[in-house]
Structures are given as structure tokens and as C-alpha cells.
Amino acid sequence: MFAEERQQKIAELVAGTGRVTVTHLAERFRITTETVRRDLATLETAGTVRRVHGGAVATDRFSTTEESVTERAIQRPDQKIRIAEAALALIPRNSPGSVLIDGGTTTEVLADLLSRRTAGEPSDGAEDRAELVAITHALPIAGKLSNIPGIALDVLGGRVRGITQVAVGQATVEAAGRIRPDIAFIGTNGIHASFGLSTPDPEEAAVKAAFVRSARRIVVLADSSKLDTETLVQFASLKDLDTLITDSEPGPELAAALEDAGVDVVVA
């Protein structure tokens, strides 16, 4: 295979998956890691990829890159449904308790599934149904969970960020510090072996960090595009997590780090 042809295929892989590693490319194309690095350098010079430690990412993957919830809602719908279904199974049916649902498109799918499941559960009367307390700071999630019999909705206030439609700021952080939910379902923009969980915005990172500190059990919902990714602000380490639900097996380095941290990985 000519170098130009191989580099084109590498560029296509990066565009399709968002990230590639030097080791994977060397094995796939049966070339040395030094040749892979030269290919990546050529592609970076051409503006096709951006090199990072151990591999390369798509050029739109900068530490501060952030898409709106509208843009993200149409991406990876099947994977998000599978992840959300696995998360829903962790919430007991028709049972008291409390859950915190962080903002995000996968957590929004979870809220939708929870609202439909709860609304469809039989009950002899409203007074006989055990209510689940659902806490969120995300407007789309609050909309899905409002006025659902069997769910007592608690919305945390603050200044709303338009791009993600979640409340942020000191008031939100302080409100999170006054609660102790049984489970927190957390979204993330990146999960990395050494950097942990991260998100591009410092204010959202502060709120997510407060959520992680507050809950008894931390369950992270992250599709495979978030794996091995670092964004600007860390809000939790892997040791802070109890469970990761994703749609694909993590790579060797991340898998080992998750195992060392005692994180239960569920592949939906």
C-alpha cells in the first residue's frame, strides 16, 4: 500500500471514530510505530488530524469544543438508548428513593425512559404509590419528569447555560451540597485513564464535581466517543466512580485504569 493511500485510510478512521492510537494503526496496517507517527505528522501538517499523546484525534476535538444539546441529541441514538436502558435497570421499580440526573443527551434519554416506565406502572391509587424523588438541574430533563405520577421532581436552580440548558453557578453548587441522593447518573465529555472525567466548561465542571461528592453511588453514562478523551476541566477521578455504562469495551489502558480504580464497567 502506498503511503498516500494509507494516510487517506488513517484520516477516514479518525473521522469515523474521532480518535486512533499509534499501536492500533501499526497493527492494522502492519507497519512500525515510527511509520505511523510519520503518517500522523504528515496528516497534521495537512490539517486532517490533530496529534495527541499516543495517537491522533479529529481536528474538531479541542479541549474546549462543545456542541449544543440539539446537535448532540441526534448523534449515536442507538448507543444512547442502550446505555440509558442499562441505567434504568439500576432504578428499582415502584420504590421510594432518590436519583440525581445530570444534564446531557444520554441522561435525557434515561429521563424519558424513566418517565414512561413510571407512568405505565399500575397503582391502586396515588396514595399507595411509592414516590421516587428525581433531582436535576437540566431543563430538558425537568420537562420530561414533571407531572409524572410516582415521581417527585426537585429542580436545582441557578443561571442556565443556553448551550447545554443546565443550571450552573454557586447557587447550584451549594444546592448540590445539601442533598444526598441514592444514585447520581452523571454525563461527561471525556473519560481518560489518567485525567479522569472532564468537561469543557469550568462552571459545569464545578456542578458535576458537587454532584459526585453528594451522591451515595456514582454511575457515569458515556458512549464510546467519550472514551480516552480529555477536555479542559477535570471534575472527577476514576476512583470517584462506582459504575461506568458505555456501548463499547474500553481500550486496554483505560480498561486497566478502571479496574485499578474498582469501577464496574457495563457494556450495553
CATH number at residue 41: 1.10.10.10
Domain boundary among 16, 38, 58: 58
In a domain, 63, yes or no: no
Burial of 252 from C-beta contacts in 10 A (0-12 / 13-18 / 19+)? exposed
Q: Yes or no: say if 97 and 182 are a contact pair by the CB < 8 Å rule.
A: yes
Please identify which residue in the block is written with the cell numbers 440539539.
70
Residue 71, pLDDT score: 57
Three cell numbers written together for 86: 442499562
27 and 149 part of one domain: no
Half-sphere exposure of 72 (CA within 13 A, CB side): 23
Examine residue 219 and state whether it is found in any structural domain, yes or no: yes
103 within a domain of the structure (yes/no): yes
To 5 degrees, how large is the angle CA 249–CA 250–CA 254?
155
Rounded CA-CA distance 49/46 in Å is: 8
Residues 8 and 110 in one domain: no
Same domain (yes/no): 238, 140: yes
**What pLDDT shows up at residue 76?**
74
Q: Single out the residue in 18, 36, 58 at which a domain terminates.
A: 58
How far is it, in rounded angstroms, from Cα 202 to Cα 204?
6
Structural domain contains residue 232: yes
Looking at residue 236, its pLDDT comes to 97
Alpha helices in the chain (DSSP H): 3-17, 22-29, 33-45, 69-73, 77-88, 105-120, 139-145, 170-177, 202-214, 252-260
Q: What is the CATH number of the domain that holds 192?
A: 3.40.50.1360
User: Domain check: are 44 and 16 in the same one?
Assistant: yes
Strands in 19-21's sheet, in edge-to-edge order, are 19-21, 55-58, 49-52
Which range marks the domain in which residue 112 is found? 69-267
Query: Do 100 and 53 sit in the same domain of this protein?
Result: no
pLDDT score for 14: 85
Does one domain contain both 38 and 81? Answer: no
- Averages of pLDDT over runs of 10 residues in the chain (268 residues) are 88 81 91 92 87 79 56 73 97 90 95 92 62 96 94 95 92 96 96 94 96 97 90 95 96 95 97
> Which of 37, 58, 79 marks a domain boundary?
58
pLDDT at 13: 87
Question: Is the domain of 166 the same as that of 218?
Answer: yes
Q: How far is the C-alpha of 234 from the C-alpha of 180, rounded, in Å?
A: 22
Angle between helices 22-29 and 3-17 (to 10 degrees): 130
Residues 104 and 35 in one domain: no
Residue 135 bridge partners (DSSP): 100, 154
User: How distant is the alpha carbon of residue 163 from its chain centre?
Assistant: 16
Same domain, 33 and 120: no
pLDDT at 57: 80
Same-domain status, 256 and 140: yes
Quote the number of domains for the chain: 2
For residues 43 and 157, membership in a common domain is answered with no
- Residue 264's H or E segment, with its range, is strand 264-267
**Do both 47 and 95 map to the same domain?**
no
